[in-house]
Structure 1
Amino acid sequence: MAIDEKREGLLLCGLVLLAALLWYVIFGMPDFGNFWVKISISAASLAILSLLVMGGEREKSFEFKMRYLWLGIGSALLLYLLFAVGDWVMKSLFPELAPHEIASVYGRKEGTSPWVIAALLLLVTGPSEEIFWRGFLQRLLTRKVGPMTGLVLATVIYAGVHIWTLNLSLILAAFTAGLVWGWIYLTERSLVPVIISHSIWSATIFVFLPLQ
């Protein structure tokens, strides 16, 4: 289902507001439902809506090239190393605040099997978030305001919806990772490398090799 130019702006605003609302339910209402169920359903719903309106862009967005595999894995590794350094810097600069913020992020693992979390990060939330944030939001913003402005705006919005966490470390993490994935998407015009990168990075930093 392709959309015309006149409806793009309204659709863009509507889905961004929906994403902000969903992220509020995910992070701002911790007592309402299971965190992993909420984020999986929310991300998947946004991805499905994005795919429905992408029209002819869908096939091009999922074109696979072997170098995308290595780009995805390599960027995930570099992001992990960058966050390891960032973790050390934050704990050094804010010795009282940073450890508490980071512990609150990893505290979301409690009560759910790490294998279930890893599967959701690899197969649901990672791919779904990239389809929406880069494949829908950044693509439309780039078309409307230009490549670099679109990249920056999409990254700011992506980080901005994490404000409901009230966690500076997590907001900065979202901005940093979003900027990297946004740049890869901007240069490659494919969702494949960013889906691989996001999925591997999130599962690694949260389950396989946590920084705590």
Structure 2
Amino acid sequence: MFQKQMDVRMIFGILLAHVLLFFTFQEKSVFWYIFTASMLFLITYSILQEEMDDQQPFRIYIIYGVISGVSLFGLFYLGNILLHMIDLPLKGSVAKLYKQMSPTQIWQYIVLFLIIIPGEEIFWRGFILKRFLGRIAILPSILLSTLLYTSVNIYSGSSHLILASIVAGLVWSSLYVWKKSIPLLIVSHLVFDLFLLVLFPLS
């Protein structure tokens, strides 16, 4: 009975994420307002349902977070170069990753780094992936959670964002399985977005 209840909670969380993200991507003019509210709602739901893992000391999750975030950006950077070199139809896809939804104002950067990024890791890895890991094998858990993480970005209408979600989702899900630390994932995600959106935007 308890396991069944856990399933219902996860399914409800996934449906909730889809409904919230569907409305988030509908109107670009209020995107940041709705996205912020949606992530706050998902954070609240997650922490009420599941205890967040933090099995690494501060020094370790900072080091691994920074290294993994920079490495993931490096992977995107190399992918962008490769797409330009072979002149595929997807050329420039990495550069267009957040083009449509990129923050343009200071407050948008603040909510991105303080609410949206932590919220994505808390919900998709700290809640959804953790639930899968409690029921099925590691590899299917990583693949299913990544698929679900990617699925909500379908509403953006951007194939570039979908492709990026698959790659990043696989990396962060694998990192969670390895280190069991949500703070580590948040640092990794923060560093990745800092490089991608602020320090070294790709072209």
Distance (Å, rounded) in 1 between the aligned partners of 2:24 and 2:195: 21
Tell me how far 1:30 sits from its aligned partner: 2.7
Corresponding residue of 2:22: 24
CA-to-aligned-CA distance 1:59-103 (integer Å, 9 cap, x gap): xx1355111110000000001111111222334455655447844
Tell me how far 1:36 sits from its aligned partner: 1.6
Does the aligned pair in 2 maintain the 1:134–1:182 contact within 8 Å? yes
Q: Which amino acid aligns with 1:36?
A: W
Corresponding residue of 1:164: 155
Q: 1:93 to 1:158 in 2, by over 3 A?
A: farther
Corresponding residue of 1:9: 7
Q: 1:165 to 1:93 in 2, by over 3 A?
A: farther
Selected match of 2:41 from 33, 40, 45: 45
> Which structure 2 residues correspond to residues 128-207 of structure 1 after superposition, within 5 A?
128-207=119-198
Unaligned 5+ residue runs, structure 2?
Answer: none
Does the aligned pair in 2 maintain the 1:26–1:35 contact within 8 Å? yes
Q: 1:172 to 1:24 in 2, by over 3 A?
A: same
Distance (Å, rounded) in 2 between the aligned partners of 1:155 and 1:26: 20
Does the aligned pair in 1 maintain the 2:93–2:160 contact within 8 Å? no
Tell me how far 1:204 sits from its aligned partner: 2.5
Mapped pair 1:74 → 2:67: yes
For the aligned residue pairs, the C-alpha RMSD in angstroms reads 2.2
Could you state the TM-score of these two structures normalised by the residue count of structure 2? 0.89
Identity %: 27
Corresponding residue of 1:89: 82
Secondary structure, aligned partner of 1:144: coil
Does the aligned pair in 2 maintain the 1:43–1:128 contact within 8 Å? yes
Does the aligned pair in 2 maintain the 1:121–1:202 contact within 8 Å? no
Distance (Å, rounded) in 2 between the aligned partners of 1:101 and 1:165: 15
Q: 1:77 to 1:17 in 2, by over 3 A?
A: same
Unaligned 5+ residue runs, structure 1?
Answer: none
Distance (Å, rounded) in 1 between the aligned partners of 2:128 and 2:93: 32
Larger CA deviation: 61-70 vs 92-101:
92-101
Does the aligned pair in 1 maintain the 2:80–2:94 contact within 8 Å? no
Distance (Å, rounded) in 2 between the aligned partners of 1:186 and 1:64: 13
Distance (Å, rounded) in 2 between the aligned partners of 1:172 and 1:78: 17
Secondary structure, aligned partner of 1:68: helix
Does the aligned pair in 1 maintain the 2:97–2:161 contact within 8 Å? no
Corresponding residue of 2:54: 62
Tell me how far 1:105 sits from its aligned partner: 2.9
Q: 1:137 to 1:105 in 2, by over 3 A?
A: same
